[in-house]
Structures are given as C-alpha cells and as structure tokens.
Structure 1
Amino acid sequence: MESKSMSIYALWNNKGGVGKSYLSFQVASEYARTHPQQKVLVVDLCPQANSSSMLLGGMERGEDAIEALSANRPAQTISGYVAERIVSPYMTPHSGANFLTQVSQHNHFVSDNLYLVCGDEELEMQSSQVRLACTAGPADAWRIVHTWISDLIEDVRRSWGQERITVFIDCNPSFTIYTEMAMSAADRLIIPFSADGSSKRAVKSVLSLVYGIQRRPGQVQSEFYRNSMQYRMSLPLIYSYVGNRLTQMNNSSASAFRNVVNEIFDEVFSVWQNQPQLFCPHPSGTPAPTSKRGFKQMFEEQINDANTASVVSGAMGIPINRLTAGQKSFAGRSVMVNQSQLDKQQPNIAGFVQEIE
C-alpha cells in the first residue's frame, strides 16, 4: 500500500446476491453527503457495473450513462484504464484521473463531491490479457500488475491535490484477477452477507482466499495469498461484516436469520481470537475489544431490508437517505414508497457510515 493518508475500502463477498453493489451505492452516497468537504471515489471493478448504474441514475438513466461513457475513445470507464495498462503493463502512465466521472453530472440526487471510475462489461474480455501480463514480464510481474488499481487511486489523489481521500471499491463476487487487484489496493475490507446458509460458506471462502486461513488440515492456500506473502504486499484489514438487507418477517423467519448471523459471527470471531492482527479496530485509537460482546459491537453491522423502498432506491438512483415517501414512477410503472419502509433502513445506513473513517 502506497499512501496511508487514504482510507480504501473494498466491499467483497465470494458470493453473488448479497446486495454488495447496493451497499456500495448507499454507503458511498451517504459518506459523500455527510462529508461535503472531502472528495470521495468509487471504483467499480464489477463487470456487471450495478453500482455504477445506481450511482449514475438508476436502471434507465444510469444504463444510458454507462453506454455513453463506454462509447468514448478511450472508454471513460475502468476498462479504458485497464486497456491502457495492458499496452505497457509494467510502467504506470499516471493517467488514472482521466477515467473519472463526477457522479452529480448524471444524477442530481448524489453530492457533488462523489466521483466514479465506472464499471464496464469489457472487463471480462480483458481478463485473460491481464492474467498473461502477470507472468509474461519481469520477475515481479505479478506484483506490478496487482498494483494497477493502487496506481489509479494514487493518480486520482494527486490530481485532486488532496492529502486524504476516501475510496470505496465494489468488487466482482468471483475471486477474479480484478478482485485480487482490489484486495491489493484496499487497506480495509467490508464483507456483506445475506442471512442464508451459503453466506456462511462464502464468508469462510473470503477468509481462506484472502488471508490463507485453512478450513481443514492440508488445504491449499490461494495463489493470491502465497504471492502476496512472497512479495510482502499488505492485505486489507477486516473492518466489518455486514448483514445486508436482512428481511424482517414472521418470528420463525427472523429466528432462522438470527441463527445464520450467529454462525457467521462465530466464524469471524474465531479468526479474531487466533489472528487479531487481521482486523482494523475503529475508530482509530480505540482499544481492541476484549469480549465477544465488544467484538460484535465493533465489527458486526446489520442493514434491514426496506422492501419496496430498497428496489425504488436502486432503480431510480436515489440514495435511501434522500428518498422520500410517496408515489414513485420508473420503468413505466408507479409504486408507493411508505415511510415505514424508509424507517427500516435509513437509520442503519446512517449509523454504519458514521462508523466509517
């Protein structure tokens, strides 16, 4: 990691459908809204570009904006940056700021201080060339390629002339080369999960792939972990694990969800007990927790499902804390957002963002 004057958060879980992109959209938007004097950057490393779509105005305007940015030559997206790096993989062109988009130019519901390096489906097509660059060059080619996103972020910071910026990286669910690059760039990891059985396996997979934590004797550690250790590259510290859009239903459903959340807590807490150095106590200067309760208070977050309001927020590109109750129209239909739905999630997002430094 090059600059400790930045806080770089990767949001990742090795499973789709946990609301990772939705959470990236909400957290980045709320952070920018509540920190108006600070520039905030989102890097969308997911080929689906869902967080970019939401940030840029939702399912209609956001998709149009992505198409327009992708049609530029070079593309004003993450793929445009990757294409430039592929040409000369081992020498940084210091051009990362060329691929920035000020989000409010496309979506007036988002603060002027929020910027995006837009996602792009072309990432999928480029991945084999990026992988080849990891092995085809100098002895430390793998290390250099895995710093491309760090280089991009540093380019942006310098172009802004700011000592400190806050960055959120939305990752591909799969542990692709781009997810590896995000892990190499980030200094803090937020792990969203949903309350189902496969989420527990996915959280275990995150701990194994990134930190080499073996779930059974003799388990092979990931190439990413082994190479990160070989090149003495820093790994992101676990900042929080977030039960995202947890459904509040009948008592039996809520009980089942609580059981999954408790199982994931036990999994992450056992890692804390054995390797507390993998975690980032916060806020800065706060003593590390000494009890199960203290650990849960510091590292566990829960975001309730706002039901229809959640859908409308993402589809219209209106951050949940700027969404109001009433009739909303999008995609040719009209739906009602109730205040009771907003009350379920707005305080969760606000409270979680207050925990982010």
Structure 2
Amino acid sequence: MSPTSTIFWNNKGGTGKTSLAFQAISSFAQLNPASKILVIDVCPQANLSELLLGGLEGNGSENLLKIQGKTPRATIGGYFQMRLPSPYSVAPIAPTDFLTKPHDYNSTIPANITLMAGDPLLELQSNAMSTLANNQIPGTDTWAKIVSWIRDFIAATGGDFDCVFLDANPSFSIYTQIAMAAADRVVLPVMADDSSRRAIQNAFSLIYGLKLPSEIYAQHMFATRMDAAGLALPKAHLIVKNRITQYMGAASGYRAVLDSIDSDISAIIKGSPQFLNFTSATDGVIEVRDFQTTGVVAFARGTPFFALRPGKRSVGGRRIQIDAQQIKDRKDEIEILANKLV
C-alpha cells in the first residue's frame, strides 16, 4: 500500500508555508510516534531542511552543507542528478543514499521523521529537466516520465514509510510539478490579503485548469498532461489562513478578505467538488494565529513548539523571553492542524 503524500504549496511567497509545514509535520510526528514519516524538501532554498537540521542557532545551515557534501549527495538534487543520464527509465537505487535522520542533528525533532533534504542544485537542474520533459520520442510520454521521478523514489522505498510530506517552491517550475505529481493532497496556506486570494485562484488554475485565461493553454496544463499520463491529481485538503492575528481587531477590511476567501472556496465546492477532500468551507478551512515571539525563537532554534520550554532563549545574540502560556497556545493550535493531516 502506497503512503499518503501531502504537499504544502502556494504559488505566492510569504504566506508562512515552510514555517507552517515545519511545525505541522513535527507535531504530526510527535502525535503519531508509530508512523514512519518521510519529508521531501523540493525547494532550492532548503529552508525546511535547515529548520529540521537545527535552525540558525543549531547550525542547521552547516549541517545541511555536510549532507550536500556526501557522496552520493544525500539530497533531492543528488537523486535528480542520478536520474538525469537515463531520465525515462527507472534504474535500481538505494533510497537510503539520499535520506537523513534529522534527529541525529537536532534532538528536538521526533525520531520517526526521515528527510530528503533540499538542494540549490534544483535551479541548475531545472532547465535540463524541462528540456527532457518536452522531448518528442515516439511511444514515450517524456513529460510523464520526468514528473514521476519522486513517485518513483517513494515506490523504491518499498513501503518503508506510512506517510510523505513535501514542501515545494512557490513557482510552478518542473521540479514543483514533479513534487505535485507525487502528492495525493495539497495544503494551501494563505494570508488575509487580496494577493493571497488571487493566489488561491491561481493555484486552482495551475493544478486543475480552472478559469484559464484562454483555452489555448488547456492542452499544456498540468491537469491535462496528468490525465493523459494516467496519473491522479492531488486533491485540495486544507486551506490554512495563516498569521491570522495580524489582521484581526480594527482591521475589518482584512476580515472581509478572509470571508471572501471562504466564498471563493464555497464556489469551488459547488462547481468542482472532484478537486477537493472536503464538502464545506467549515471542514476545509482552518485559521492559525501569528506565532509571534514564540515563533521567532522556535524557528531560530529549529525547535517544534511541543519541545520549547519557557524562559529566556538566545536568538542571534539576544535573550528573548517566552512564557508557558504562549508556548501552550501555539502548540495546541498546531496540534489542531496536525490532526487534520491524518
């Protein structure tokens, strides 16, 4: 049985996607200690990898460089590099060559998480992969072969994992499409601004082909090519209104935007329910408050909320005070989200 794969993605940057993914995945792992979890960081910036490997204060960047320096390169880029010479065939691989246990570098991360780290090589590899995906070879769907690379990797693990989480770049470049093609479910983080509202519309256009600006794009869209390849599209699983307390109180205009997001989602439920894992906005939309000082400390130290302790903590040479109630509030809220990832 294949593991369930969930991707955190939005084609708009700045929505707190990676920080949300870090806390939600860590919480999910802590709440489900018997589950074997694979995290695949499909982002050239590799921010999720750095957080899992220790963050700023825990030498996350240096630890990531060590992993990238291994032979073979123990990253998503190392795996893609191995696939490039024979891109349309599935060569036998040892998946463990490309995997890391974050707990070995950062003791606050649950031991049931395994990481395929991100890699800046993705940007360099992108043009080559796009060219290979658009080659014309009789009898071969070259695009489908390339976008199946992560699917192939998950299959090669042979049932070693119960669930997979992916974090992807805001772009919809070829490596993001490879990640999307491997996912069963999509978590879309948004913020309370008009650009986030448009980003939801853009996301549904890019993934599912809804409201394309012109029919001339239809034959090239992701959904059409996935269907032609016999590959199932991921379904929208959750819309997460992130950093919600930034827009509360007197800023009633922002609440209007948040309400309009619900209206947009309700329209999609009514018109295209086949693309969703929920049947009402109440079930599919969740609000998460801003992490504030607790978040600053947690991310600087690469620490899940459940592992934070109250008191003064060092961040960038400064001592920052966090109290027990702040930690509990953030932990409880993330647990609500994590439980929706089951």
Count, aligned residues? 337
- Matching residue's letter, 1:79: G
| Alignment partner, residue 28 of structure 1 | 25
Measure the CA separation in 1 of the matches of 2:266 and 2:217.
Answer: 23
| Alignment partner, residue 214 of structure 1 | 211
Measure the CA separation in 2 of the matches of 1:36 and 1:330.
Answer: 29
Alignment partner of 1:334 is 2:314: no
Aligned in 2, Cα 1:13/1:250: closer, same or farther, shift over 3 Å? closer
Between the two proteins, what is the percent identity of the paired residues?
Answer: 34
Alignment partner of 1:39 is 2:36: yes
Contact kept? 2:294, 2:322, Cα under 8 Å: yes
Please, which of 273, 277, 283 is the counterpart of residue 276 of structure 1?
Answer: 273
| Alignment partner, residue 256 of structure 2 | 259
Please, which of 282, 297, 300 is the counterpart of residue 285 of structure 2?
Answer: 300
| Alignment partner, residue 120 of structure 2 | 121
Local SS of the residue matching 2:115? strand
Aligned in 2, Cα 1:194/1:140: closer, same or farther, shift over 3 Å? same
Measure the CA separation in 1 of the matches of 2:318 and 2:258.
Answer: 35
Aligned in 2, Cα 1:243/1:74: closer, same or farther, shift over 3 Å? same
Residues 157-183 of structure 1: CA deviation (Å, up to 9, x unaligned): 44x3xxx61111001101111111111
Measure the CA separation in 1 of the matches of 2:259 and 2:212.
Answer: 18
> How far has the Cα of 1:217 moved from its partner?
6.5
- Matching residue's letter, 2:241: G
Please, which of 189, 192, 197 is the counterpart of residue 189 of structure 2?
Answer: 192
Measure the CA separation in 1 of the matches of 2:217 and 2:88.
Answer: 29
> How far has the Cα of 1:93 moved from its partner?
2.4
Residues 11-52 of structure 1: CA deviation (Å, up to 9, x unaligned): 110111111111111111111111111110110001111111
Aligned in 2, Cα 1:275/1:66: closer, same or farther, shift over 3 Å? same
Measure the CA separation in 2 of the matches of 1:247 and 1:64.
Answer: 34
Which segment drifts farther, 240-249 or 127-136? 240-249
| Alignment partner, residue 151 of structure 1 | 152
Aligned in 2, Cα 1:250/1:114: closer, same or farther, shift over 3 Å? closer
Which segment drifts farther, 77-86 or 127-136? 127-136
Local SS of the residue matching 1:80? helix
User: What is the 5 A alignment of 1:1-357?
Assistant: 5-60=2-57, 61-95=59-93, 96-136=95-135, 138=137, 139-158=140-159, 160=160, 165-214=162-211, 218=215, 220-221=217-218, 223-248=221-246, 251-253=249-251, 255-281=252-278, 289=279, 295-357=280-342
Residues 262-316 of structure 1: CA deviation (Å, up to 9, x unaligned): 11111121111011111124xxxxxxx4xxxxx1231011111120111111110
Which segment drifts farther, 106-115 or 136-145? 136-145
> How far has the Cα of 1:257 moved from its partner?
3.0
Aligned in 2, Cα 1:187/1:231: closer, same or farther, shift over 3 Å? same
Contact kept? 1:94, 1:151, Cα under 8 Å: no
> How far has the Cα of 1:191 moved from its partner?
0.5
Which segment drifts farther, 77-86 or 256-265? 256-265
Contact kept? 2:72, 2:97, Cα under 8 Å: no
Residues 107-131 of structure 1: CA deviation (Å, up to 9, x unaligned): 1001111010000111111101111
Which segment drifts farther, 105-114 or 337-346? 337-346
Measure the CA separation in 2 of the matches of 1:98 and 1:243.
Answer: 37
> How far has the Cα of 1:338 moved from its partner?
2.7
Please report the TM-score for the alignment, with normalisation by the length of structure 2.
0.93
Contact kept? 1:94, 1:152, Cα under 8 Å: no
> How far has the Cα of 1:322 moved from its partner?
1.7
Please report the TM-score for the alignment, with normalisation by the length of structure 1.
0.90
Contact kept? 2:294, 2:326, Cα under 8 Å: yes
> How far has the Cα of 1:215 moved from its partner?
5.5
5+ long unaligned stretches in structure 2: none
5+ long unaligned stretches in structure 1: 282-288, 290-294
Local SS of the residue matching 2:56? helix
Contact kept? 2:53, 2:302, Cα under 8 Å: yes
Aligned in 2, Cα 1:17/1:94: closer, same or farther, shift over 3 Å? farther
What is the alpha-carbon root mean square deviation over aligned residues?
A: 1.8
Residues 317-352 of structure 1: CA deviation (Å, up to 9, x unaligned): 100122122100132221111334324422211011
Measure the CA separation in 2 of the matches of 1:270 and 1:233.
Answer: 26
Measure the CA separation in 1 of the matches of 2:225 and 2:155.
Answer: 23
Contact kept? 1:305, 1:344, Cα under 8 Å: no
> How far has the Cα of 1:219 moved from its partner?
7.3
